[in-house]
Amino acid sequence: MKEKFGALSGRLDEATLRIWAAVEARALGRGGVTAVANASGLSRTTIHAGLRELASLSSDEAATTGGHARVRARGGGCKRLSIKDPTLLRDLDALVEPSARGDPQSPLRWTCKSTPHLAKELPAKGHTVSQRSVCDLPGQLGYSLQGTRMTREGGHPADCDAQCAHIRAMVAQYQGTDEPVISVDTKKKELIGGFKNAGREWQPKGMPEPVRVYDVIDPTLGKVAPYGVYDIAAKQGWVSVGITHDTAEFAVETIRRWWREMGRPLYPQARRLLITADCGGSNGDRVRLWRFALQLADELDMTMQVCHRPPGTGKWNKIEHRMFCQITRNWRGRPLCSREVVVNLIGGTTTDKGLRIHAELDDNDYPAGVKVSDAALADLALERDDFHGEWNYRLNPCRIRS
């Protein structure tokens, strides 16, 4: 205490010294006033006066002055630039938001409106201002640094809400009879090799894992296309890691493998399968090969009911936010050096909610550009629903068709 007082007493004015002594006394509790008086040489009366000042200090004054006695009179100090230069804020506003202020010829119309750029343009308009001051001025106009926000969903197809309600009703119907419901989609294609993978992972300090500078595809390793099947009720998933093209044949082959290894043991009595899918990609509602390949119903001896989500609503497909996002989280910050690494990282993905995923490599060749003729399409056991038959249809086994 004596050392503190010796170091500070010569540098504090009377009011600050009194408040400091009162703070120390209050912190010590019972007997604190006597201890501080003995150590500092201040009288007990002075310390008690400081305690009264602390008690009477209003919250507004504390917020304004930081809890310290005001030294500078109110209104003292340099005047604000916006007061000394009345047109400064107006010209700055025109530079920051020219489209709203009617100045389409602004020199910053097509450039990054950073503080260095603003500080260079304002002197050209007759203002004397530093870059540091420019950092504070936009806030006085109600501006703040912001990114973009994804709120526009684009086109809203007719009966979009009704289709989503139809899918919910179909899912409830199938689950009510203990029949399988799956969500399918393709995950983003991934380059194989020592490439950067977004995210961070624990590493020894100063030893980040080295990766390639440029994302140029390795002609030997190529890329992979993970296609997933997510069982909504069982919270289980299957991912086939393809090495050629993401085609409808590849998608249906993934469904076939999921059913043989995971679906049939869980639903031995099932005679129907509900597939919820997006409207685009290899399982799109207009892809002929998708419907042709789904005559897999003959092989599995079960009806394949398909419900497509309306265009622009694919992010609400269950597989996206219940399985794919967990896979991305599991391999964050790790370069996908080989196909085996991809398969192991996908298969090692789990959650506290009980998610379990089986992954395997599908090294079959799926050629692109396969055409399905009108005659082959007409020969399918395809039945369209009354409500938006282009989105809702079923492939029956041939025995049902006959």
Q: 294: which DSSP letter?
A: G
What are the pLDDT digits (tens) for 248-284?
999 999 999 999 999 999 999 999 999 999 998 999 9
Domain locations in the chain?
2-65, 81-140, 160-199+210-401
pLDDT in tens, 292-338: 999 999 999 999 999 999 988 888 899 999 999 999 999 999 999 99
Kind and range of the H or E run holding 360: strand 356-362
Tell me, what's the pLDDT at 155? 63
The vertex-45 CA angle with 41 and 49, nearest 5°, equals: 110
pLDDT tens sequence across 64-98: 555 555 555 666 677 888 888 889 888 888 888 76
Task: Indicate if the pLDDT at residue 63 is higher than 60.
Answer: no
Give the DSSP letter of residue 126. T
160-199+210-401 has CATH 3.40.50.720 classification = no
Sign of CA dihedral 19, 23, 24, 26: positive
Average pLDDT, the chain: 87
CA distance 247 to 372: 13
Cβ neighbours of residue 253 closer than 8 Å, sequence gap 6 or more? 240, 362, 364, 366
Token pair belonging to 194 = 């020592």
CA gap 309, 167 in Å, rounded: 8
